[in-house]
Structure 1
């Protein structure tokens, strides 16, 4: 089959609502549009792997500090809360995470039910770590401070930052209010959602978003920043974008 017919068939299969973005960017050159589409898939894959790694690092550093913070809080009767903040959180963490904890717990129960009968934890009680593994990236981003004083969670997030989460980012010494960390995390969350839904990345500044990820990792642990920058392929793939000039 001639290449032009193959390209037309692929474009038809992908539908104009999706492929049209690339055709427009390519000025109607369908072969170039297809190369752009395939490049977009490769860039999304590069971002997916690096953002997945970042998510685990971010989740674990926040969890460690929230465990310590929760255990330092006292219940009304004077007894301390447990470290397991996803099971018995102190205020304001309880209100900030109520919906997310409920959903994550339900998903943890479903994950346990899906385990094969031979699984060693088939009938084990749901633990803090089981729930933690089910939390979405956005949950952690929305625990970080917001400069929007009109946001109903503004004060709670500010308190949580000052009392706990600032210690999760020792490499961000000049970011006392946490807004730089939160901005980077917010941009990366938006990117992650685009990547997860295979949306076009043609208008994304891949270099800037890669820099956000590297610097966010560096704010968590400066010793990991160079390693993280070296294991991602984002910059390499970004440079391979087909010419649309």
Structure 2
């Protein structure tokens, strides 16, 4: 195991602006900043597994709810009205597959190629109280609510807010951003809770297999000694 503080070119390899965000945490100390960067990377990898599982669980559950008793490519059903944001997400996924040589992608391929933002967006309000474009009345109540049988008293608006928090956190992971100042325990709990809304076993997998708590507990020693595993 190598102490990142012993690597003098690391700040330049990461770029000065990126490294400064870590250096500021420790009053300009480059050694502690390098160790924090390594621990932040370890923490990122610990969160990726739970977030990835949740994304797949939510995506498949919502897709199943939307295609029930209709065509698998439900986004092409004339009765399904998607706002530009969601329509563009589907179209972007199809264009990506076409560029890769799949000129007539099957619905399951399209679903797999979509961003998490599409599925989070489908739990939003749409245009509230609009008879045609309200997602609450045209998508949520007749269909998408069935994707989350464990919701209990949690309302769509609350679910959407928690999903969107996870989505924004996921994007920080994907762009290799510092996450040490995020509400990490809350995000961990939200990931498990939302998975449980889909199915108890989805929550059981994440709760029983994640290593987020282990990495969080190691922050002090990781920064003090450089003992991180990325």
Q: What interval of TM-score do these two structures reach, taking the shorter chain for normalisation? A: 0.7 to 0.9
Q: CA shift at 1:48, angstroms?
A: 1.6
Out of 143, 147, 156, the position equivalent to 1:164 is 143
Superposition TM-score, scaled by structure 1 size: 0.80
Distance change >3 Å, CA 19–CA 101, structure 1 → 2: same
The answer to whether structure 1 residue 188 and structure 2 residue 177 are counterparts is no
Per-residue Cα deviation, 1:124-163 (whole angstroms, up to 9, x for no partner)? x421111111100001000003498499x97234431111
Per-residue Cα deviation, 1:93-151 (whole angstroms, up to 9, x for no partner)? 476632122111111222345xxxxxxxxx8x421111111100001000003498499
The answer to whether structure 1 residue 226 and structure 2 residue 196 are counterparts is no
**What do you get for the CA RMSD once the two structures are aligned?**
2.8
Contact 2:128 2:136 in 1 (8 A): no
Alignment of 1:141-160 (within 5 A): 141-146=120-125, 149=128, 155-160=134-139
**How many Å separate the matches in 1 of 2:85 and 2:79?**
10
Out of 206, 210, 213, the position equivalent to 1:235 is 213
Superposition TM-score, scaled by structure 2 size: 0.84
**How many Å separate the matches in 1 of 2:23 and 2:212?**
23
**How many Å separate the matches in 1 of 2:5 and 2:35?**
15
Distance change >3 Å, CA 164–CA 13, structure 1 → 2: same
**Quick one: higher RCO (CA 8 Å, sep 6+), 1 or 2?**
2
Which has the higher Rg, Structure 1 or Structure 2? 1
1:137 alignment counterpart: 116
2:18 alignment counterpart: 18
Distance change >3 Å, CA 23–CA 108, structure 1 → 2: same
**How many Å separate the matches in 1 of 2:61 and 2:159?**
13
Structure 2's unaligned 5+ residue stretches are: 225-230
Q: CA shift at 1:43, angstroms?
A: 0.8
